[in-house]
Amino acid sequence: ARVPRAEWDDLGATIGRTRRRLRDELLSEVELACDALRRRVDEKRELPALSEWREWTALRAQYEAAAELVGTEFRRLVFPKLHADVCHAAVWLFNTRKERAIANAMFRWLLAEAEALEDARLAGLQRGNVACGV
């Protein structure tokens, strides 16, 4: 039977430890993917536009799937790192690579997630980035 995430803590210490272990593993996986993106951008290793889009959507899907499993706590823990690395990549795509449509889509997603997490500072930054247009 599917137990709602909100009720996991009521299932005892074992499920609590398992939940924390899952959260920690998913955090590590998303952080590693973010590190790889940042490293590639810092090294100026360009990909064709379609491959840039695929890499971004894979990272986003990984984050969203983990968030679905673990919940808002996961989102709040990993979003600052994800935001920093994805925004870094999007700025590079926008300013240097002139892949403005991809960058703008990344900025829009970052804005939506910052607003969902009620992070006014990051939402304000992304509003400015989105306003740059395509």
pLDDT digits (tens, 9 = 90+) for 43-67: 999 999 999 999 999 999 999 999 9
Q: How is residue 133 written in tokens?
A: 């247009």
Residue written as token pair 């952080």? 31
Single pTM value for the model: 0.86
Position 133 pLDDT exceeds 60: yes
Burial class (CB in 10 A: 0-12, 13-18, 19+), 2: exposed
Domain that holds residue 57: 5-131
Distances (CA, A) of 110 to 15, 48, 124, 125, 126: 32, 22, 11, 10, 7
CB 106 within 8 A of CB 93: yes
Work out how many domains the chain is built from and give that number.
Answer: 1
Q: How is residue 95 written in tokens?
A: 């300013």
Separation of alpha carbons 44 and 54, rounded Å: 17
User: How many residues are recorded in the chain?
Assistant: 134
Q: What does the pLDDT look like over 76-122, one tens digit per residue? A: 999 999 999 999 999 999 999 999 999 999 999 999 999 999 999 99
